């Protein structure tokens, strides 16, 4: 199994380290040709507007859309989830539009309002998942075909799955807990089917 990591900007190195830890081969993706031979793709956190501009400059938007609509597994973390979302309610950026969710950018405030919390994510087992939120987006609305995997205590949706796609508001690559990447690798290998 080989998982690509979109490496235009943001926290791509950290994702590569987690995959390394799990013994999964990874490859940094900057050009359309580098998408060939991959089994899945991680879109990291960073700055969604910058990442989209760069993806445009590198002619990656259409190839990524095509792959996504064909069911290619993708995991978007933080800004990466913004790229996957169909709608961004407080910004008019044009995203990949692959997940039927509405997200709100910088929904928890500015940099000093970043926070960490333990999330109950049943798909990852009983142990809470320690999650780091950095100028994070939240999921305002998820259509019926989207499975909600985690919410904050106040009910805010922060992790979703739609078929082979995962989206989350936080940065699972910034802790020692590799379970989110492991879960994604099961989606990639076809061992975790959506309910």
Build a one-symbol-per-residue string for 94-113: x at contacts with ligand GLN by CB under 6 A, - elsewhere: -----------xx-------
Q: Annotate 163-194 with DSSP letters as a single string.
A: TTEEEESS-GGGSS--HHHHHHHHHHTT-S--
From 22-30, 55-63, 74-82, 143-151, span contacting ligand GLN (CB under 6 A): 74-82
Is 181 known to be catalytic? no
Could you tell me the two tokens for 151?
């919410």
Contact status: 76 vs ligand GLN (CB under 6 A): no
Question: Considering only residues 35, 61, 134, 146, which one is a binding residue for ligand GLN as defined by CB under 6 A?
Answer: 134
Cα(76)–Cα(12) distance, integer angstroms: 11
Contact status: 46 vs ligand GLN (CB under 6 A): yes
Cα(192)–Cα(135) distance, integer angstroms: 30
Could you tell me the two tokens for 189?
């290998």
Q: Considering only CA atoms, which of 176, 133, 174 is closest in space to residue 156?
A: 133
From 63-71, 78-86, 143-151, 182-190, span contacting ligand GLN (CB under 6 A): 78-86
Question: Considering only residues 18, 42, 78, 142, which one is a binding residue for ligand GLN as defined by CB under 6 A?
Answer: 78
Residues that bind ligand GLN (CB under 6 A): 45-48, 78-79, 82, 105-106, 134-135, 137
């Amino acid at each position: 199994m080989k998982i690509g990591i979109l490496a235009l900007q943001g926290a791509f190195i950290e994702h590569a380290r987690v995959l390394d830890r799990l013994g999964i081969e990874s490859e940094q993706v900057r050009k359309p040709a580098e998408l060939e031979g991959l089994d899945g793709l991680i879109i990291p956190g960073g700055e969604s507007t910058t990442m989209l501009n760069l993806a445009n400059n590198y002619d990656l938007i259409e190839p990524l859309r095509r792959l996504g609509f064909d069911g290619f597994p993708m995991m978007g973390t933080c800004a990466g989830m913004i790229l996957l979302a169909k709608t961004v309610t407080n910004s008019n950026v044009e995203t990949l539009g692959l997940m039927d969710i509405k997200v709100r950018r910088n929904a928890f405030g500015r940099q000093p309002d970043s926070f960490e919390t333990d999330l109950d994510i049943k798909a990852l087992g009983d142990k809470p998942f320690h999650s780091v939120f950095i100028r994070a987006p939240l999921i305002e609305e998820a259509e019926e075909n989207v499975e909600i995997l985690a919410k904050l205590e106040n009910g805010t949706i922060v992790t979703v799955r739609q078929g082979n796609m995962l989206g989350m508001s936080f940065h699972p690559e910034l802790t020692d807990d590799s379970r989110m990447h492991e879960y994604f690798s099961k989606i990639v290998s076809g061992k975790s089917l959506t309910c």
